Amino acid sequence: MMLSKLFVELQRIGKALMLPVAVLPAAALALRLGAPDVFDVAFINAAGGAIFSELPLLFAIGIAIGIAKDEAGAAGLAGAIGYLSLTRAVKAFDESLNMGVFAGIIAGFMAGALYNRFHEIKLPDFLGFFSGKRFVPIATVFFSCVIACVCGVLWGYCQTAISILGTKLAEAGAVGAGVYGVLNRALLPFGLHHILNSYIFFIFGEYTTNTGVIATGELNRFFAGDPTAGFFLSGFYPVMMFGMPALALAIYHTTEKSKRKKIAGLMTSLALTSFLTGVTEPIEFLFMFVAPMLYALHAVLTGVSLAVAYALQIRQAFGFSAGLIDYCLSYGLASKPLLLIPLGLMVGVVYYAAFRFAIVKFNIQIMGKETEKAAPADNSDASDKHADLALNILEFLGGKENVKELGNCITRLRIEVKDGDKIKVDELQRLDKVKGVIKTGNAAQIIIGTEAEEVAVAVHKLR
User: What is each CA distance from 157 to 106, 152, 216, 240, in whole angstroms?
Assistant: 17, 10, 18, 38
3-state helix, strand, coil in the chain (%, to 5): 70, 5, 25
Paired strand residues for 417: 403
Q: Show the beta-strand stretches assigned E in 147-225.
A: 206-208, 214-216
CB 110 within 8 Å of CB 140: yes
In this structure, the chain runs to a length of: 463
Per-residue CA distances from 29 to 24, 48, 229, 319, 404 (Å): 8, 7, 18, 8, 38
Q: Is 409 a catalytic residue?
A: yes
Q: What is the dihedral of CA 251, 256, 260, 262, to 10 degrees?
A: -110
Q: Which of 149, 151, 158, 409 is catalytic?
A: 409
Angle between the 135-187 and 100-118 helix axes, to the nearest 10 degrees?
A: 120
Exposure string for 250-273, b = 16+ CB within 10 A, e = fewer: bbbebbeeeeeeebeebbeebbeb
Query: Given CA atoms 90, 95, 97, 100 in this order, what sign does their dihedral have?
Result: positive
CA–CA separation, 46 and 35 (whole Å): 9
Residue 416, CA distances (Å) to 117, 283, 332 in order: 18, 26, 44
Give strand pairing partners of 215.
Answer: 207
- Spatial separation of the C-alpha atoms in residues 67 and 16, rounded to whole Å: 6
Whose CA is closest to 55, among 17, 14, 13? 17
Counting Cα atoms < 13 Å in the Cβ hemisphere of 284 gives: 27
- 8 Å CB contact between 90 and 144: no
User: What count of Cα atoms within 13 Å lies in the side-chain half-sphere of residue 458?
Assistant: 20
Task: Return the amino acid letter for 153.
Answer: V
- Catalytic residue set: 409
